[in-house]
Amino acid sequence: MGSGVKLNDSRPRTAICATTQNNIIMLTAHNLSLIELASQMLSLGCNNAMNLDGGGSTAMSLADEVIYDQGRAVVTAVLLVDTVSY
């Protein structure tokens, strides 16, 4: 059955990765296929990446700044917290 999402469907995407330098990159894109997302993550230096829920669930904020918002509530989130500052 599957999710019904095909590799070439272009839609909002969210992904997270670790680079070869052990940096974390979180990416939100407006309109990419899964193949284009993988290519984008590789071009950013990712060596391990994960596609997160996309489509209407795609949203991103940094501190108090909204980076990408689809205007609907998102009930789950991946949070990166700087514990050194606390």
DSSP string, 14-31: EEEEEETTS-EEEEEEEE
Task: Select the more confidently predicted residue: 38 or 70.
Answer: 38
- Indicate the pTM of the whole model: 0.79
Domain assignment present for 63: yes
Q: 24 pairs with which residues across the strands? A: 18
Q: Is the pLDDT of residue 7 over 90?
A: no
Report, as an integer, the average pLDDT of 38-60.
90
Report, as an integer, the average pLDDT of 20-42.
92
Tokens of 78: 């991946």
Per the structure, the complete domain to which residue 62 belongs is given by 11-73
Band of residue 50 on the pLDDT scale cut at 50, 70, 90: very high
Count of structural domains, the chain: 1
Domain assignment present for 65: yes
Q: Is the pLDDT of residue 33 over 80?
A: yes
Domain assignment present for 24: yes
